[in-house]
Structure 1
């Protein structure tokens, strides 16, 4: 795996970051990491998993989500940036700079004590994603990327699905189309992992630890799940797609959904998206 210790100084318990990292992005990540550790220390698993509200994306908000996001929003109070966050939605500060953040990706993992959770954020300048930061919250390890800066990350370079190491969201077996799509991709891969944290799985694609990650046509992804990958994975030589060809662009509506594909190369991303879409179409027509 890539050694991030060469990237700069340590920041608030996080791994190394370059000095030119966006200060608002760093503040958000630091706030998330500190709040995550505090929440795990203060509450048991049942309390962390309790639903306390409905998020701006239309899904239930766990207590652990609320604690971490509140800390992130508080950490950004002094930074003049717009914020798009999973639970609170769009916070408009009339700035040309926007942060698209998932304060706690892998909430169910975090609440249960499974050490696979991440903070992920991307900076958009006048609507264009320019910089990203992903933090593995259970270890403090970081992945930082800027579209105009060379990166140490390199994908595996794999171009074909056959024999690939593939991560996916869990199969949605109650729906014929997504279930068929999941198995169509899994049957072509050499290895399949389900880690339940899109942002961390995208980082593993960026550094070549796995070849691709996908949502098999369940339209589970929101922009906050994919924005950081747009910068990081693309800069590392990979590609980010939607199974159905929908552009992954800045949109303040968190009810908008994608079936994301994050892959080591554009060729692999296109093939994986095609395999998933074709399998879903065939199953839906047969149903």
Structure 2
């Protein structure tokens, strides 16, 4: 990592070998996929993922390359499309090969590879790589993190990234607008892992799913390590623990915030507004 900025470029030399192999394969496969295929081909739905949602071709191209690279690293893998791959290891790699698939397929340069390492069920290391630029955020065991959040404690005046509002879900839409009303700035980037990394870097104060239960573990695992190593916190709007679970149909409404105080306030504001509108 580069001093002062909190982020680096490419795959850090300190990274766990399996994590490094996965990230390197993702960067290479993403470059090849976006060079050799047009937008329609990349966005084509080719399967259903392990989480039950449609899988785009770009997801398959990148994930297949990663799984091939991981053949030399017999760790367990929990990944968006294939799901749970059990090698009987104490080490598990929880990853989203292309977070922000719709952005990536459309040519919008906002997508990321993101993964966390869990040892005996506890997240210990994480790496998120912005696929279009190579910018990366890493935190690991025994190494002081250069990441620092903004330190903001209050929602009033905060810069917040949010998943898009869902008009068909009035309680969640009400929760979204309540946060938007209190915050100073709202962004919608459509890439949860990258938005979580930006919180850890201090570029934005918080990121949240406004009570829609959209997040899977692969969307939040890296932020657990990155944000907490930087002084931040990860919460669920409805109080559910964000921890290793191999069931990719399980959902969260995740919050990544600069401080525990801000995370708790966001959870309170969102859950209260959601329940009031239900």
- TM norm. shorter chain > 0.5: yes
Q: Which of 134, 139, 147 matches 2:133?
A: 139
Provide TM-score, normalisation by structure 2: 0.97
CA shift for structure 1 position 2:
1.4
Tell me what 1:197 maps to. Answer: 191
**Mapped contact 1:97–1:125 kept (Cα < 8 A):** yes
Tell me what 1:283 maps to. Answer: 277
> Which blocks of at least 5 consecutive residues in structure 2 are unaligned?
none
> Which blocks of at least 5 consecutive residues in structure 1 are unaligned?
6-13
Question: Counterparts of 1:71 and 1:220 in 2: how far apart (Å)?
Answer: 26
Q: Which of 121, 126, 131 matches 2:120?
A: 126
Tell me what 1:53 maps to. Answer: 47
The runs of at least 4 consecutive aligned structure 1 residues that moved more than 6 Å come to none
Quick one: structure 1 residues 147 and 188, their matched pair in 2 at CA, closer, same or farther if it must change by over 3 Å? farther
Tell me what 1:25 maps to. Answer: 19
| Residue-pair matches, total | 275
Q: How does 1:98-137 map to 2 (within 5 A)?
A: 98-137=92-131
Q: Which of 158, 168, 174 matches 1:174?
A: 168
Tell me what 1:187 maps to. Answer: 181
Deviations 1:16-37 (A, max 9, x none): 51x3310100000011111111
RMSD over aligned Cα, in angstroms? 1.0
CA shift for structure 1 position 4:
3.8
Are 2:235 and 1:241 equivalent residues in the alignment?
A: yes
Q: How does 1:217-228 map to 2 (within 5 A)?
A: 217-228=211-222
Question: Counterparts of 2:268 and 2:5 in 1: how far apart (Å)?
Answer: 30
Question: Counterparts of 2:200 and 2:243 in 1: how far apart (Å)?
Answer: 20
Deviations 1:38-77 (A, max 9, x none): 1101111011101000000110000000101101111100
Deviations 1:209-231 (A, max 9, x none): 00000000000000000000000
Tell me what 1:10 maps to. Answer: none
Question: Counterparts of 2:216 and 2:139 in 1: how far apart (Å)?
Answer: 21
Deviations 1:152-192 (A, max 9, x none): 11000000000100000000111111000000001000000
